[in-house]
Amino acid sequence: MERKQSVWVVDDEPNGFEVIELLLRREGYHLTYFNSGKDVLSQLSSNLPDVILLDVMMPEIDGIETCRRIKANSQWKPIPIIIVTALDSKEDLARSLAAGADDFLTKPINGVELRARVRSMLRIKQQYDALQASVNLRRDLSKLVVEDIRQPISTVLLGSHLLLQSNLEAKDKERAEMVHTAGLEIDAIINSLLRLAKMESGKLVLNLVEVDLNELVEVVVENFGAIANSKQIQIITKLPQQGRWLTIDAELFHRLLDNLMSNAIQSSLTHSTITIEVDYPEESVRKVIIRVIDEGVGINKDLQQSIFTQYESGSLIRGNSQIGLDLAFCQMVAEAHGGIITIENNQPQGAVVIVEI
């Protein structure tokens, strides 16, 4: 049996619900009445409707504030909200839209308009649910593939390690080192995917320790020195003379810096410079700002936000594609520490990735 679509009506006046119930009687919806914003907010913790009709004029918490609180919650945000008000003013409309409302109705309610708007919001919700189901399926399949890859890549790493310990000819040893290095890179990608899955499911627990960020940056730069030299790229660090201890997850943050440096080197041109800056702003809500600046061809402005999305690609340099997986991981690490990550264009060319914690 097909589930009835759920419509919640929030109005402190019972007559308001009775009018809407009468106008929607033939639509076959499951209607639920709440007489306050407080009641609907408490109920959302255990049950989610398909659409909410929300009256503006209510005591304690008015409809606009209720809407704002609903849209501020990531789990509740997709629920379409139609604001219903007797105040036919542009200011009221602007406040409703600013709070995140998806549509707007004025009293007295016209039945044809009400039914049309509810149907429209339900179509949007159905499309969102279908898209979310597709994303979840893709994510679950990705996790299965990643888990299946772990065993064979472990065999590759063990086998190449044993080969390197044996008496190989110089040429064969070089080939074994290439295989082992490639295996380590694949293993790092697998670990990133698993960490992303944990972050998205809310199961990742930060292992917070006191870390000297200056020292951590210097370790990362040293690790990438040989790769940068092979491409004739110079890495410059601009670190404060006086470092500062920060409470962070050292392993995750190390991986974040590794990803940013790897992406910067990958997108940089020969004979260019990469600069990594650390700043501890005194008059700011942020404890630290990190900038990784390269002189490559930069990132298209349209991609500067979507590039943080998993599976999103953007061409950075000819013959080279940048997968958004590493940057998606960086964004999640920054957000897990209460921070943000953004990308700007460098002048005259290149990109600046900014992490603020």
> SS3 for 253-302, per residue?
HHHHHHHHHHHHHHHCCCCCEEEEEEECCCCCCCCCEEEEECCCCCCCCC
DSSP-based helix, strand, coil % in the chain, nearest 5? 50, 20, 30
Given a cut of 90, whether residue 252 has pLDDT beyond it is no
Residue 165's pLDDT is 87
Residue 161's pLDDT is 86
Confidence of residue 169 (pLDDT cuts 50, 70, 90): confident
Residue 289's pLDDT is 92
Across residues 282-305, what is the average pLDDT? 77
Across residues 115-128, what is the average pLDDT? 92
Weakest-pLDDT range from 94-108, 143-157, 253-267, 297-311: 297-311
Return d(Cα 40, Cα 36) in angstroms, integer. Answer: 7
Across residues 211-233, what is the average pLDDT? 88
Weakest-pLDDT range from 178-187, 195-204, 220-229, 250-259: 195-204
Residue 313's pLDDT is 44
Q: Higher-confidence residue: 273 or 313?
A: 273
Contacts within 8 Å (CB) and 24+ apart, 126-133: 128/78, 132/78
Return d(Cα 75, Cα 328) in angstroms, integer. Answer: 20
Across residues 61-84, what is the average pLDDT? 90
Given a cut of 60, whether residue 311 has pLDDT beyond it is no
Confidence of residue 69 (pLDDT cuts 50, 70, 90): very high
In 3D space, the residue among 327, 321, 322 whose CA is nearest the CA of residue 342 turns out to be 327
- The gap from C-alpha 9 to its chain's centroid, in whole angstroms, comes to 32
Given a cut of 90, whether residue 235 has pLDDT beyond it is yes
Given a cut of 90, whether residue 237 has pLDDT beyond it is yes
The two structure tokens encoding residue 164: 């390197």
Percent above pLDDT 90 for the chain: 27
Given a cut of 50, whether residue 316 has pLDDT beyond it is no
